[in-house]
């Protein structure tokens, strides 16, 4: 009986799905680039995928860099991994990079659009060095793929 108990995975803390500025405008803002799904649609799809994967999931979104930093710092103790779409802060925020490094959690960076087909300033991400992977250009499916990847990483 003890051998079976030792094989059971430990209970994981929930994965944090963190969204930056303007992602609250999904479905309204430039749908030709970002699609017609809303942030609520993304959250519902992620919740369903998390259940399928046996993960807990928490969501947060802010327009304020400091609020995002605070949430990443809190994730160090309260979460097992991070899916982050930092929006425009991807291309400007050393503070988010530092927070992700300090959190010491596996993080996957998500972009709805293919940032390499867009303006050149979007080709550089400050947060990528802290991420175990980057998913870009697959729309909202990128969030689900990120959860799948984290489930595999966390199962190791």
Report the distance separating Cα 142 and Cα 34, nearest Å.
12
What pLDDT is attached to residue 1? 40
What pLDDT is attached to residue 9? 45
Pairing of strands 81-85, 15-19: parallel
Is residue 110 a part of any domain in this protein? Answer: yes
Q: Which of 135, 127, 151 is nearest to 15 (CA)?
A: 151
Residue 63 is among the residues annotated as catalytic for this protein: no
Neighbours of 63 (CB within 10 A): 15
Contacts of 120 (CB under 8 A, 6+ apart): none
Residue 5 has pLDDT above 50, yes or no: no
Which CATH number characterizes residue 66's domain?
Answer: 3.40.50.9100
Domains identified in the chain, total number: 1
Is residue 7 a part of any domain in this protein? Answer: no
What is the percentage of the chain residues whose pLDDT exceeds 90? 74
89, 111, 126, 143: the active-site residue: 111
At 30, the pLDDT band (50, 70, 90 cuts) reads confident
Is residue 10 a part of any domain in this protein? Answer: no
Report the distance separating Cα 133 and Cα 35, nearest Å.
22
Query: Could you tell me the residue range of the domain that residue 25 belongs to?
Result: 19-155
Q: In what order do the strands lie in the sheet with 133-136?
A: 57-61, 15-19, 81-85, 107-111, 133-136
34, 89, 126, 143: the active-site residue: 34
* Residue-wise pLDDT tens digits, 107-154: 999 999 888 887 787 789 999 999 999 999 999 999 999 999 999 999
What pLDDT is attached to residue 156? 86
Is residue 130 a part of any domain in this protein? Answer: yes
Residue 36 is among the residues annotated as catalytic for this protein: no
Average pLDDT over residues 7-13: 61
What pLDDT is attached to residue 29? 80
Report the distance separating Cα 10 and Cα 63, nearest Å.
34
Is residue 26 a part of any domain in this protein? Answer: yes
Strand partners, 135: 110
Is residue 6 a part of any domain in this protein? Answer: no
Is residue 3 a part of any domain in this protein? Answer: no
Quick one: how far is CA 134 from the chain centroid?
10
**Who wins on pLDDT, 34 or 143?**
143
* Residue-wise pLDDT tens digits, 92-108: 999 999 999 999 999 99
Is residue 142 a part of any domain in this protein? Answer: yes
């Amino acid at each position: 009986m003890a051998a079976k108990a030792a094989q059971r995975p430990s209970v994981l803390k929930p994965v944090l799905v963190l969204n930056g500025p303007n992602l609250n405008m999904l479905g309204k803002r430039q749908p030709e680039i970002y699609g017609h799904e809303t942030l609520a649609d993304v959250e519902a799809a992620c919740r369903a995928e998390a259940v399928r994967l046996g993960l807990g999931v928490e969501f947060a979104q802010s327009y304020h860099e400091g609020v995002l930093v605070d949430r990443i710092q809190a994730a160090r103790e309260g979460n097992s991994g991070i899916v982050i779409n930092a929006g425009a802060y991807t291309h400007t925020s050393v503070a988010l990079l530092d927070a992700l490094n300090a959190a010491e959690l596996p993080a996957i960076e998500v972009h709805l659009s293919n940032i390499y087909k867009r303006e050149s300033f979007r080709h550089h991400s400050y947060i990528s060095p802290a991420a175990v992977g980057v998913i870009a250009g697959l729309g909202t499916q990128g969030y689900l793929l990120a959860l799948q990847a984290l489930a595999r990483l966390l199962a190791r």
